Amino acid sequence: MSTSHVLDQKSKTAGYEADGSLASAANSVYETKQLNLWYGANHALKNIELDIKENEVTAIIGPSGCGKSTYLKTLNRMVELVPSVKTSGQILYRGRNIFDGDYGVEELRTRVGMVFQKPNPFPKSIYDNIAYGPRIHGIKNKKILDEIVEKSLRGAAIWDEVKDRLTENAYSISGGQQQRICIARALAIEPDVILMDEPTSALDPISTLKIEELVQELKKDYSIIIVTHNMQQAARISDRTAFFLNGEVIEYDKTDTIFSNPTDKRTEDYISGRFG
C-alpha cells in the first residue's frame, strides 16, 4: 500500500459523484451559491457567489472584519463551532452541498485541511503532531505512519530542519518552523483543498518567504485558498483574487486583472492603499 493512497480520497472526488451524475464544473472545487451567514443578528456574509478552481491559489483580500475568515471557516464548516451561527444558501464541494444533512463534517474536514493564523501545534512531539491526523482516521501501522510523517514534512519543506528532532516538543522550534509543522500536519491527512487563514501574519519576513514558496509548490497537488491582508502577498502567490468588503464579494477575477485593471472603484481604492 503506497502512502499516497492511505486515505484514498482523491480517487473518490473526481468529476463524477457516487450516484453517477456529472459534477457541475469539472475544474471547480467549490461553488458557493447565495451564501449568507449570520452571527446572531450580525449579517457577516451576504449573498456570496464564488467558484474556486482546482490546483490554483485563490487569495481572499479585504479590510479587517469584512468576513474573510468567516468565509474560509464556512468552507470546512468550522464556523459552526460558534453556537450563534446561522447560514443559508449552498456551498458545493466537488458537486455536493456541504450543508446537506447527511454530509458529515468530519468527512469534509479530512478532505479540506486548514492552517491557522497563529501557529498552533499540539503540545506533543513533532512526530505526534504530524501523525495525529492519520491516527484519528485509524492508521496504526508504525511503518505507514513513519512514511506519512516523512512525506508530509518533506511536502512542507521542513524535513531537513527537523528530521533529527522528531521526538522533541513542537514548541521547541521557531514560530516559522511551527507554522510549517502545522502545514505538514494538514498535509498528513492527504487533503484535496488547503485553507490558510493569514498563515504568515505572525511570522518574520524570511519565514514568510519560505511559506510563500511552499504555497507555490503545493498548488501542483492541492487547491489552496489563502486569506491575506498583505496585498503584495496576494499579488505574488495567487492565481485568482476575491476582494471582500462588509461581507460581500465586490470583485473576483484573475489576480493580474484585479491588481492591474480592477472593475470596481472600491477594489481600486483598496489595492492602492486608500483604505483598509
Give dist(CA 183, CA 211) in Å, integer. 9
Query: Which residue is closest to Mg ion by CB?
Result: 69
Span from 37-45, 95-103, 173-181, 235-243 in contact with ligand ADP (CB under 6 A): 37-45
64 binds, among other proteins, Mg ion, ligand ADP, none (CB under 5 to 8 A by kind): ligand ADP
Of 29, 52, 56, 67, the residue at the interface with ligand ADP (CB under 6 A) is 67
Helices (H), 137-260: 142-155, 159-162, 175-187, 205-218, 231-237, 255-260
The helices-and-strands tally (H runs, E runs) of the chain is: 10, 10
Give dist(CA 56, CA 94) in Å, integer. 15
70 binds ligand ADP (CB under 6 A): yes
68 binds ligand ADP (CB under 6 A): yes
Residue keyed to cell 486569506: 227
Find the shortest distance in angstroms from Cβ 2 to other proteins: 21
Residues that bind other proteins (CB under 8 A): 76, 78, 81, 83, 105-110, 113-114, 116, 118, 120-123, 132-133, 136-137, 169, 171, 182, 185-186, 189
145 phi/psi in degrees, rounded to 5: -60, -45
Residues 112-141 that bind ligand ADP (CB under 6 A): none
Reported as type and span, the H/E element at residue 112 is: strand 112-115
Nearer to other proteins by Cβ, of 182 and 224: the residue is 182
39 binds ligand ADP (CB under 6 A): yes
Amino acid at 216: Q
Give dist(CA 100, CA 22) in Å, integer. 18
Contact footprint for ligand ADP (CB under 6 A) = 39, 42, 44, 62, 64-70, 82
